[in-house]
């Protein structure tokens, strides 16, 4: 039985410069209990198409043509319902699970009260005991303890728990259709697998249809029955998941599949130049970067246990730090950048403690050690054009030799990261895509000729098809500009391809370390093995497992929690690791 039909749907957005045709003539059906994936890059029309079924298009967008039918309603055409009737359809018949759980939950309400809100809004006032029974069932259906979680506030939950709460809210009224908008995009692979298996299980139990929106073909392969590929508002290919993955017909579909990096697969990097750029050697032979017995605690929580390493920048390298959320990766990054001071030990750059520097030394450090952050939307002042964002640090650090020199430096940096200067320099950040913004962050760092780059999850918030391009740009900084790089990520597949050395962190401990072909290609530690097995592969014959498997993975983490032995694989010249 078909639950929802899109019939020749077109969606337009009037603007001051004309009408933007966001979606054009899309037709497809979603069956009862079936899981349909909408995949494509940002701006392809995935979310716009799905949200049109809830009549939740951002103003001034509107459905300019076609019909949308929810067949469980007496009047099935959703576009003809009154506003009040459509309000009653939301959550009870069509529910929405958002991408950002933290921004979607009310920060001043307990979790159970937020579930009660939806129930009361649709079914009227009822006894508190009945409401608690309903919310308890919803939380239990997603594997959460209602006696504990129901009484908590959102900030007291982990990212994975918040996302499962959003699923519980979405299924509390047993809807006919669930729309899940990139529900795991900000989660590490272990938590991602648990959340997706939870969503699949609860969707199967209530028999609802599911629209899963995303840009990760591997996740789609492991999660849905059929895939619709959208490009620039057009449905360019639709069919069973095996057909789409194994025999794609449209060039864009093939491009999306090939953009997924695989452990052991073909590298997406350009061949190494015949004469790679030389790195930076200190005058007295001290390491470029050194951590000496560094640890970091926050109250009673130890975010990073004592560890030491030294990086010689004479031959530039990419050192990857991998692990799930909360493992201590970003804590290490903030210590190396001098944003936080270690609780014990010292961080040294060119032999000098970065937390004991004079003002001139601190200014030189800020120039020599640059950062590429996770969120490309928060790294630019929205009130300034791109050229201001690029030239300000260049001039601030005294590198300018005049306006012509600044302009040339900006243009060269843009070209180095694959951007045309004439199309980006005069624009405001909101006029650029996420991928363009992220590459401009790399360009801004490159203009300062740094000795070291700290890249903290630089591609986690951009489309899968853009990740390879941005990582190529970062890798080129090593090969063509001699810059050493610390790459912080939870994406082991990209770390496999770009790294010279990998450190796996778990709860602030290094549990396995060595070259990527050893650590990621042939993992030995139980935690590393769990990370690898949790990666969603675009291979239908490689089973991602059930929710029980995901639970077993989390149980395995609990089992190894008290044992933090380090497995040190082979070493590489110019980098040494020690754990105190």
Pairing of strands 352-353, 369-372: unpaired
Q: Are 192 and 530 in contact (CB under 8 A)?
A: no
- According to DSSP, residue 483 is labeled -
Can you tell me which residue has the tokens 């991408």?
Answer: 99
- 408: phi then psi, degrees, rounded to nearest 5: -65, -40
Q: Which of 446, 444, 516 is nearest to 480 (CA)?
A: 446
Residues 6+ apart with CB under 8 A from 165: 101, 105, 111, 114, 139, 142, 144, 149, 154, 157
**Under-50 pLDDT residues of the chain:** none
Q: Other CB atoms closer than 10 Å to residue 437's CB: what's the count? A: 22
| Angle, CA 300 vertex, CA 297 and CA 302 arms, to 5° | 35
Q: Are 118 and 92 in contact (CB under 8 A)?
A: no
Q: Are 575 and 229 in contact (CB under 8 A)?
A: no
- According to DSSP, residue 537 is labeled P
Q: Are 47 and 26 in contact (CB under 8 A)?
A: no
Residues 6+ apart with CB under 8 A from 359: none
Q: Are 561 and 526 in contact (CB under 8 A)?
A: no
Buried b (16+ CB within 10 A) or exposed e, 508-528: bbbbbbbbbebbbeebebbbb
State how far the Cα of 544 lies from the Cα of 555, in Å rounded to an integer: 17
Beta-strand runs (E) in 243-356 = 289-298, 301-311, 318-322, 344-349, 352-353
| Angle, CA 198 vertex, CA 195 and CA 203 arms, to 5° | 125
- DSSP string of 104-146? HS-TTS-HHHHHHHHHHHHH----HHHHHHHHHHHHHHTT--H
Q: Are 40 and 215 in contact (CB under 8 A)?
A: yes
The pLDDT tens digits of the residues spanning 158-209 come to: 778 888 899 999 999 999 999 999 888 767 888 888 889 889 999 999 999 9
CATH classification of 2-259, choosing from 3.20.20.70, 3.40.50.300, 3.40.640.10, 3.30.70.1520? 3.40.50.300
- 569: phi then psi, degrees, rounded to nearest 5: -85, -155
State how far the Cα of 325 lies from the Cα of 303, in Å rounded to an integer: 11
The reported pLDDT for the residue numbered 580 is: 64
Cis? peptide before 201, omega within 30° of 0: no
Q: Are 145 and 112 in contact (CB under 8 A)?
A: no
Residues 6+ apart with CB under 8 A from 286: 348, 350, 351
For 75, the token pair is: 């009047």
The reported pLDDT for the residue numbered 473 is: 84
Point out which residues pair with 10 in neighbouring strands. Answer: 65
State how far the Cα of 242 lies from the Cα of 308, in Å rounded to an integer: 47
The pLDDT tens digits of the residues spanning 216-254 come to: 888 999 999 999 999 999 999 999 999 999 999 999 999
Domains 2-259 and 289-578 share a fold: yes
State how far the Cα of 426 lies from the Cα of 423, in Å rounded to an integer: 7
Q: Other CB atoms closer than 10 Å to residue 192's CB: what's the count? A: 25
Please provide the size of the chain in residues. Answer: 580
The reported pLDDT for the residue numbered 338 is: 95
Query: In the CATH scheme, what is the code of domain 289-578?
Result: 3.40.50.300
Q: Which of 503, 450, 442, 516 is nearest to 481 (CA)?
A: 450
State how far the Cα of 2 lies from the Cα of 54, in Å rounded to an integer: 17
State how far the Cα of 37 lies from the Cα of 244, in Å rounded to an integer: 11
> What is the SS3 assignment for 173?
coil
Buried b (16+ CB within 10 A) or exposed e, 329-363: bbbbbbbbbbebebeebbbbbbebbbeebeeeeee
Q: Are 47 and 213 in contact (CB under 8 A)?
A: yes
For 93, the token pair is: 């018949």
Sign of CA dihedral 27, 30, 31, 34: positive
Helices then strands (H, E): number in the chain? 22, 21
The domain locations on the chain are 2-259, 289-578
- According to DSSP, residue 392 is labeled H
The reported pLDDT for the residue numbered 563 is: 61
State how far the Cα of 515 lies from the Cα of 319, in Å rounded to an integer: 9
């Amino acid at each position: 039985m078909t639950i929802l039909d899109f019939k020749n749907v077109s969606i337009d957005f009037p603007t001051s410069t004309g009408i933007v045709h966001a979606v054009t003539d899309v037709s497809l059906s979603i069956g009862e209990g079936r899981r349909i994936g909408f995949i494509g890059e940002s701006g392809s029309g995935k979310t716009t198409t799905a949200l049109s079924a809830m009549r939740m298009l951002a103003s001034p967008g509107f459905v300019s043509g076609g019909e949308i039918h929810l067949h469980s309603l007496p009047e099935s055409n959703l576009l003809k319902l009154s506003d009040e009737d459509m309000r009653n359809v939301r959550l009870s018949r069509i529910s929405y699970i958002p991408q950002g759980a933290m921004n979607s939950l009310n920060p001043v309400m307990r979790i159970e009260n937020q579930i009660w809100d939806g129930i009361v809004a649709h079914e009227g006032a009822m006894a508190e005991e009945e409401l608690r029974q309903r919310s308890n069932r919803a939380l239990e259906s997603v594997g959460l303890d209602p006696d504990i979680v129901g009484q908590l506030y959102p900030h007291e939950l982990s990212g994975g728990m918040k996302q499962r709460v959003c699923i519980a809210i979405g299924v509390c009224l047993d809807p006919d259709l669930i729309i899940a908008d990139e529900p795991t995009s900000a989660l590490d692979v272990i938590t991602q697998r648990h959340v997706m298996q939870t969503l699949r299980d609860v969707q199967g139990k209530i028999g609802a249809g599911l629209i899963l929106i995303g840009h990760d073909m591997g996740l789609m392969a492991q999660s849905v029955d059929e895939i619709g590929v959208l490009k620039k508002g057009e449905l360019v290919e639709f069919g069973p998941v095996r057909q789409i993955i194994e025999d794609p017909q449209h060039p864009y579909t093939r491009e999306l599949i090939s953009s997924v990096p695989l452990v052991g697969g073909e590298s997406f990097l350009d061949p190494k130049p015949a004469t790679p750029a030389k790195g930076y050697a200190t005058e007295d032979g001290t390491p470029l970067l050194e951590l000496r017995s560094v640890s970091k605690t926050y109250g009673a929580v130890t975010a990073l246990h004592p560890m030491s390493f030294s990086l010689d920048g004479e031959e530039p390298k990419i050192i990857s730090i991998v692990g799930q959320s909360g493992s201590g990766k970003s804590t290490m990054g903030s210590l190396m950048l001098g944003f936080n001071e270690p609780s014990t030990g010292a961080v040294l750059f060119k032999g000098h403690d970065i937390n004991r520097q004079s003002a001139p030394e601190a200014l030189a450090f800020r120039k020599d050690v640059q950062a590429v952050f996770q969120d490309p939307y928060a790294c630019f002042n929205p009130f300034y054009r791109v050229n201001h964002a690029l030239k300000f640090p260049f001039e601030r650090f005294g590198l300018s030799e005049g306006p012509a020199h600044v302009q040339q430096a900006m243009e060269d940096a843009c070209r180095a990261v694959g951007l045309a200067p004439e199309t980006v320099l005069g624009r405001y950040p909101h006029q650029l895509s996420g991928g363009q913004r992220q590459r401009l962050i790399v360009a801004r760092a490159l203009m300062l000729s740094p000795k070291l780059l700290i890249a903290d999850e630089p591609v986690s918030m951009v489309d899968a098809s853009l990740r390879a391009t941005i990582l190529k740009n970062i890798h080129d900084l090593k090969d063509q500009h001699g810059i050493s790089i610390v790459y912080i990520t939870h994406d082991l597949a990209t770390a496999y391809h770009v790294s010279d050395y990998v450190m796996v962190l778990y709860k602030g401990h290094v549990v396995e370390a060595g070259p990527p072909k050893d650590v990621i290609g042939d993992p030995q530690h139980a935690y590393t093995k769990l990370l690898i097995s949790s990666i969603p592969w675009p291979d239908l014959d490689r089973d991602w497992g059930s929710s029980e498997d995901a639970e077993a993975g989390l149980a395995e983490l609990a089992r190894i929690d008290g044992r933090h032995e380090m497995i040190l694989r082979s070493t590489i010249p110019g980098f040494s690791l020690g754990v105190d």
